[in-house]
Amino acid sequence: MSTDVRPLVAVREVRRTFGSGAAAVHALRGVTVDVRGGELLALVGRSGSGKTTLLNVVGGLDRPDSGSVTIGDTEVTELDEAGLTRLRREQVAFIFQTFGLLPALTAAENVGVPLRLRRLPVADREHRVELLLDLVGLAGHADQRPDELSGGQQQRVAVARALAASPRLLIADEPTGQLDSETGLAVMALIRALVEAEGMTAIVATHDPVMIALADRAVHLVDGRLTDA
């Protein structure tokens, strides 16, 4: 755990509303939260509580109506589109419950996509991909495409891809939502172990009590408002 007193992620009074008038949905209602460097934070809440919206705002996939988000020294909410793209390429990685793998690419090629975007030399890229596939237990599946892998294996590839460029912040939205309980437990334990091994910070939206138990801390979203667990 980092001893830096400054949080890696600082969310301040973030509000986000979709629609207007009587049909308006107030997804986030003044959310404020800090996430320390090296921390695994579980974001807990029912469907519709605002978890995905908060993750999207933190990661620069969506903009808040008001409030601010800072990652390190970067104020995310002030970045233009080019800056947001650079942020997602260099500092933030995402894991989704739908895996999001490219079907035409092998497992190794999927993991290597972020490294290609950063124009890492081929030898370095191949070494990093090999290391990550070994870390997630898929060393023997490098040449298989997503449709040749089980759901749990696909999510492991997605985890490896998220870690490829050594992001400072990992954002995971219900990463075990499509998996059976045993496979989900394995993926959750993997995320916990890799966050520690890679020295990253992670925010994981989940309703799974096992993932919550594996986290350093849990906070609850209820109707767009955050409360400590």
- Which helix (H) or strand (E) segment holds residue 135: the answer is helix 122-135
Cβ burial, residue 195 (10 Å; 0-12/13-18/19+): buried
Pairing of strands 40-44, 217-222: parallel
Task: Please give the pLDDT value at position 228.
Answer: 63
Q: Residue type at 9? A: V
State the average pLDDT over residues 70-94: 92
The residues with which 28 forms a beta bridge, in sequence order, are 16
Contact status, residue 168 vs residue 92, Cβ threshold 8 Å: yes
Look up residue 152 and give its amino acid.
G
Contact 112, 162 (CB under 8 A): no
Average of per-residue pLDDT across 182-211: 85
Query: What is the pLDDT confidence band of residue 5, given thresholds at 50, 70 and 90?
Result: low
**Is residue 3 pLDDT above 50, yes or no?**
no
Q: Could you tell me the pLDDT band of residue 135, with boundaries at 50, 70 and 90? A: confident
Higher pLDDT, 188 or 141: 141
Q: Which two tokens stand for residue 72?
A: 């390190």
Confidence at residue 48, expressed as pLDDT on a 0 to 100 scale: 84
* Residue 101: φ, ψ to 5°: -80, 155
Q: What is the pLDDT of residue 2?
A: 43
CATH topology of domain 37-63+79-228: Rossmann fold (3.40.50)
Domain ranges of the chain: 37-63+79-228
Q: Compute the average pLDDT of residues 33-59.
A: 93
Res 187: pLDDT: 82
Is the pLDDT higher at 57 or at 3?
57
Integer angstrom CA distances of residue 132 from 48, 65, 114, 120, 164: 34, 38, 13, 15, 7
1, pLDDT greater than 60: no
Mean pLDDT along residues 123-131: 93
Is the model's pLDDT at 74 over the cut of 90?
A: yes
Structure-token match 């975007």, residue found: 117
Pairing of strands 201-205, 169-173: parallel
Mean pLDDT over the full length of the chain: 89
Whole-number percent of the chain with pLDDT over 70: 97
pLDDT of residue 186: 83
Q: What is the pLDDT of residue 81?
A: 93
Query: Is the pLDDT reported for residue 164 higher than 50?
Result: yes
Beta strands in 19-82 (DSSP E): 25-35, 40-44, 66-71, 74-75
Q: With b meaning 16 or more CB within 10 Å and e meaning fewer, what string describes 196-218?
A: eeeebbbbbbbbbeebbebbbeb
Q: Above 90 in pLDDT, residue 170? A: yes
Give the residues across from 69 on adjacent strands.
11
What is the edge-to-edge ordering of all strands in the sheet holding 9-18?
25-35, 9-18, 66-71, 74-75
Whether the per-residue pLDDT at 64 is higher than 70: the answer is yes
- pLDDT at position 218 is 94
**H or E stretch at 18:** strand 9-18
